[in-house]
Amino acid sequence: MDLFTNLALGFSIALSPETLALAVAGCILGTMIGALPGLGPSNGVAILIPLAFSFGLDATHSLVLMTAVYYGAMYGGRISSILLNIPGDEPAMMTTLDGYPMAKAGRAGDALVLSGVASFVGAFLATIGLMLLAPVLARVAFMFGPAEYFALYLLAFCTLGGLGSNNQAKAAISVCLGLGIAMIGVDKSTGLTRFTGGSLHLFDGVDFLVAIVGLFAVAEVFVFIESHGRDSAIGVKLEKIRIPVKDIVNSGWTMLRGTGIGFVAGLLPGAGASLGSFLAYMLEKSTARDKSTFGTGEPKGIAAPEAGNNAAAGGALVPMLTLGVPGSGTTAVLLALLMTLNITPGPLLFTERPEVVWGLIASLLIANVVLLVLNVPLVRVFSRILQVPAAVLLPGVTMISFVGIYSLSGSYFDLLLMIGFGVLGYVLRKLSIPAVPVILGILLGGHMEVSLRRAMVLSDGDWTYLFASPISIGLWIAAVAGFILPLFLRPYLRTPVPAASDEGAGAEPRKGKG
């Protein structure tokens, strides 16, 4: 009965004109951002967060707008994958395997509609899973003490190094960099300053929104200039749009299987949509009667990864809302948004701020329907975004980043710091070091330190207290396994990435961002 009461509360908020308008606007903006190669949901949310603060949105409306952008970008990533053979983001990489060949065969419209339906199935069912599972996990979270939370944060960092990156050493470097940045400022326990260099601007530490916008948005401007030049163009001509009923019906079970796999992958801290997309595609290919059709324009090869990566997007919200641990890079950005709004994600969020949680869930259910309606008849319009000249796009991204950050603090130092993080992000990208662990280290480093100190105070300095409960032991085992096992499993989990055809964009698909 509580579920229906909470849903009624959520829909009473979601159906208000302002909330509904923000959800629709987020869906449109997210799809546009996702369609642009290389930007993806993390950058899209990071770019638009300052915009939300500029308009003075409250917590519920800000979260609704940003999660709608998140879901929209996951939908939009398939457009450039199918038309250009360039993934909009890393999870959309698997869609290129069959999406682009299907488009080259003259069925670009069918591929886009099929992928839109699969995205809807994955995201909608994952939102229902979020609605059912999150309250249960929130109740379990009350069993967590400081030792359990310390192990949980460690698990998040270890799975980023194992499942979330192709190189554990580089991911570990990135995590340590983030943890080091999190230590900057005045130590709340001792009152001593750490790593401030005597600058008063750093006494309060580094604002994670400044770091996020710099590492993602500003760095992306540098990379975009270097890799794309001045122009972009659609590689495959988009013919008549129609609904491929036969392909949708035949791919029904494929979408459901992909949704299940993707949702579970989203629950794993640091794994996220990339793993969900990959596993969904590989399962479908391994169980198919005729494996030779995959890679040549097989409809199921489009439906499986699209359902998987969109379901993972919903699954990643579960640990963020219930435990305060992001399940993906984008949810790490959303976590920063909540913390900026003085909202602490965790089990108490469901009882202290139910309007935020259930307003978000109801808005996501509506947003998925909106995205399906938008992405089928208007897909031709969204594909035109691929022709936006860089000379127009880049100044717009830069302007939003600078104006948004300055509106938050009114400090020129934050603008300089943002540029510094942009340069750092560009260097990390050139060295193939993921930026997401840096953000996660900045976000969770302080909480991890507090949990460790509390555990040591409660145990009078006995370090074995960190392994005293079955929950903490299980989390420690999962952390070690999440970091070590991929070293042995990765050779079996690699799939060749298709190079772009001469008829397409003329460049290889871009790598993801950590």
Task: Return the pLDDT at 239.
Answer: 62
CB 248 within 8 A of CB 376: no
The rounded distance, in Å, linking the Cα atoms of 452 and 442 is 16
Count Cβ atoms within 10 A of the Cβ of residue 410 and give its class: 0-12 exposed, 13-18 middle, 19 or more buried. Answer: exposed
Task: Return the pLDDT at 202.
Answer: 83
Give Cα 259 distance to the centre of its chain: 16
Q: pTM to 2 decimals?
A: 0.68
The rounded distance, in Å, linking the Cα atoms of 189 and 349 is 26
CB 327 within 8 A of CB 318: yes
The rounded distance, in Å, linking the Cα atoms of 21 and 142 is 36
Task: Return the pLDDT at 130.
Answer: 86
The rounded distance, in Å, linking the Cα atoms of 193 and 202 is 9
Structure tokens at 141: 């979270």
Scanning 214-294, the segments in alpha helix (DSSP H) are: 219-228, 245-250, 252-267, 272-287
CA distances from 367 to 75, 122, 363, 398 (A): 11, 13, 6, 28
User: If you ran DSSP here, which 8-state letter would residue 193 be given?
Assistant: E
For residue 381, the number of C-alpha atoms closer than 13 Å in the C-beta half-sphere is 9
Q: Find the helix or strand (DSSP H, E) in which 116 lies.
A: helix 108-141
Give Cα 61 distance to the centre of its chain: 19
Residue 457 burial (CB count, 10 A): 11
State the residue for tokens 């952008």.
69
Parts of the chain with a pLDDT under 50: 1, 163-164, 230-234, 495-514
The rounded distance, in Å, linking the Cα atoms of 469 and 148 is 8
Residue 377 burial (CB count, 10 A): 11
The rounded distance, in Å, linking the Cα atoms of 433 and 421 is 14
Residue 180 burial (CB count, 10 A): 15
Helices 2-14 and 354-375, interaxial angle, to 10°?
A: 60
Task: Return the pLDDT at 383.
Answer: 65
Task: Return the pLDDT at 424.
Answer: 92
Show the beta-strand stretches assigned E in 293-383.
Answer: none
Q: What is the dihedral of CA 362, 363, 366, 367, to 10 degrees?
A: -150
State the residue for tokens 């042995």.
488
Give Cα 339 distance to the centre of its chain: 17
The rounded distance, in Å, linking the Cα atoms of 157 and 164 is 9
Task: Return the pLDDT at 439.
Answer: 77
The rounded distance, in Å, linking the Cα atoms of 258 and 176 is 34
The rounded distance, in Å, linking the Cα atoms of 110 and 54 is 40
The rounded distance, in Å, linking the Cα atoms of 31 and 29 is 6
The rounded distance, in Å, linking the Cα atoms of 68 and 23 is 6
Count Cβ atoms within 10 A of the Cβ of residue 481 and give its class: 0-12 exposed, 13-18 middle, 19 or more buried. Answer: middle
CB 30 within 8 A of CB 69: yes
